[in-house]
Amino acid sequence: MSRQTAIVEPPGLTTNRAPFIDEAQQKGEIYIRQPYELYSDENHEAWRRLFARMEPRWDRYANPHFLKGIHSLCLDPLQVPKLEDVNKFLKPLTGFQARPVSGYIPSFLFFDCLRNRTFPTTITIRPSNKLDYLPEPDIFHDVAGHVPMHTDKAFAETLVRFGECAHTAAEMIAGIRDEAEQVRRLTSIIKAMARFFWFTVEFGLMRANNGLRVYGSGLLSSCGEIEHAIDSPEVQRYPIQIEWAINQGFEIDHYQPLLFIVDSFAHLFSLADQLERWMREGKLNNVAPGEPEVNERDLKSFLHRAL
Ligand SMILES: [Fe+2]
């Protein structure tokens, strides 16, 4: 009788099956370290394949600020990056830093991080047999999709400005006595902010000399959608209007049928300014219902200022 030795794969830091993350979440830890030694060969292989697929698409569809950014970060195409190393290149450029987190963080805390030039960054990576789509962010989305944009001064200032809007919202809400009205207004404001973020930072398009280019990180980290966003006749592409973006619901589980275009990052910055002005004027208090849902933790994070 022959005895078979079972080959046990190390659990690694694979999305939705990383014991290290489960443990941190059970303890309620939001900020964590990046235990680099836990990445498995499969994790590095997933990074390598994702990077190799995206490179030619970035050259063709990404905006020039992103291309410059990815170059300045010196990301290794062959291995999952160490956030410490990424930050060595990033911090001197704009003051931004990637900070490892255990997963979802409530929205006020997220926006407040941006205000403090910190980007909450997922450290797990999608399984190598699911490279195309994962509903939750992973380190490829966060580090290869978002962080290169943070090397650009104008873009970084916009994120900070957007983060400041969350404080304005929290201050305004604190001044309302009626609790039900507080929650109603806050739900509408968070929805407006989430939609603005979605249609710009995650899925934005920008005009460039050679046509439209992508600056949204959801597109910059998606092998299929980056091309679809620019070339497909099925996508509606319009110059951004803030009143439209904040009243437009979105769904996360399929390619986006509607995308908005900005002229430049100076333009994007002016929109974040406008968002705050509109918030103060009460124009975000009654946005159209629909996606995204605002959960209890998001509301509490604003009501108690990130506690
Ligand atoms: Fe993202």
Q: Could you tell me the distance, in angstroms and rounded to a whole number, from the CA of residue 183 to the centre of ligand 1?
A: 26
For residue 120, the cross-strand partners are: 99
One digit per residue, pLDDT tens: the chain, 307 residues?
445 555 667 789 999 999 999 999 999 999 999 999 999 999 999 999 999 999 999 999 999 999 999 999 999 999 999 999 999 999 999 999 999 999 999 999 999 999 999 999 999 999 998 898 778 899 999 999 999 999 999 999 999 999 999 999 999 999 999 999 999 999 999 999 999 999 999 999 999 988 999 999 999 999 999 999 999 999 999 999 999 999 999 998 899 999 999 999 999 999 999 999 999 999 999 999 999 999 999 999 999 985 4
Q: Could you tell me the distance, in angstroms and rounded to a whole number, from the CA of residue 216 to the centre of ligand 1?
A: 8
Q: Could you tell me the distance, in angstroms and rounded to a whole number, from the CA of residue 218 to the centre of ligand 1?
A: 6
For residue 119, the cross-strand partners are: 98
Helix (H) or strand (E) holding 225: helix 225-231
Q: Could you tell me the distance, in angstroms and rounded to a whole number, from the CA of residue 196 to the centre of ligand 1?
A: 13
Looking at residue 2, its pLDDT comes to 46
- Where are any strands of DSSP class E within 76-217? 97-101, 118-122, 205-208, 211-214
Q: Could you tell me the distance, in angstroms and rounded to a whole number, from the CA of residue 142 to the centre of ligand 1?
A: 6
Q: Could you tell me the distance, in angstroms and rounded to a whole number, from the CA of residue 201 to the centre of ligand 1?
A: 8
Reduced to 3 states (helix: H, G, I; strand: E, B; else coil), residue 213 is strand
**19-303 fold:** Phenylalanine Hydroxylase (1.10.800)
Sequence ranges of the domains in the chain: 19-303
Looking at residue 140, its pLDDT comes to 97
Looking at residue 307, its pLDDT comes to 44
Reduced to 3 states (helix: H, G, I; strand: E, B; else coil), residue 74 is coil
The alpha carbon torsion through 118, 124, 129, 130 (nearest 10 deg) reads -40
Q: Could you tell me the distance, in angstroms and rounded to a whole number, from the CA of residue 205 to the centre of ligand 1?
A: 15
List all residues 6 or more positions away from 136 whose beta carbon is below 8 Å from its beta carbon: 15, 16, 103, 104, 122
Residue for token pair 């091309």: 227
